[in-house]
Amino acid sequence: MHPVRKKRLLVITAIVLILGAAVTLVMYALQQNINLFYSPSQIAMGEAPRHVNIRAGGLVVDGSVKRNPETLAVVFEATDYQHTVTIEYRGILPDLFREGQGIVAQGQLNDGGVFIATEVLAKHDEKYMPPEVSEAVKNAQSSMGESKASSQSTY
């Protein structure tokens, strides 16, 4: 082969190999939990570390929100329809915080498996609908029975 072409081939092969290695490393990294986000199931399985700042997310369980009338403290449960985790928080909740709403909490897990949050943020999805439509959807769902509730997509 012509020496210039041989050199060019060598360079291109090296580049492809390096890029391939980079992509493999990224793929590997994406399988790890890099940003310390845990679902209620992972917390229930004991995968989440204790006394470390982590983030947890889930849907607020209906009827689980208990507010302390004197302080701002609030206790509620978050679920991913398989397991739930109890979250304690003291502070102002976002407007969108309500039962059935997706939330992301930042805080630490204590020894009792209770998540002590320092920040609770409401997460909404890319689904938007007018109030009347959501009303209609809810009516339709309740007539179909409670069993369907779990088939609703998690946020």
Under the rule (CB under 8 A), what is the footprint of other proteins?
Answer: 15, 18-19, 21-23, 25-26, 28-37, 49, 52-53, 55, 57, 92-98, 101, 104, 119-135
Nearest to 110 by CA among 80, 81, 75, 83: 75
Beta carbon nearer to other proteins, 133 or 144: 133
From the CB of 1, what's the least distance to other proteins, in Å? 18
* Cα gap 97→62, rounded to integer Å: 12
User: What are the structure tokens assigned to 15, written together?
Assistant: 């580049």
Beta carbon nearer to other proteins, 116 or 122: 122
**Which amino acid, residue 153?**
S
How many other C-beta atoms can be found within 10 angstroms of the C-beta atom of residue 50?
A: 12
User: Is 128 annotated in some ligand binding site?
Assistant: yes
* Cα gap 41→17, rounded to integer Å: 39
User: Is 124 annotated in some ligand binding site?
Assistant: yes
Beta carbon nearer to other proteins, 124 or 148: 124
* Cα gap 39→8, rounded to integer Å: 49
From the CB of 91, what's the least distance to other proteins, in Å? 9
Give the three-class secondary structure for 128: coil
Beta carbon nearer to other proteins, 2 or 127: 127
Would you list which residues are annotated within the binding site for heme?
Answer: 124, 128
* Residues of the binding site: 124, 128
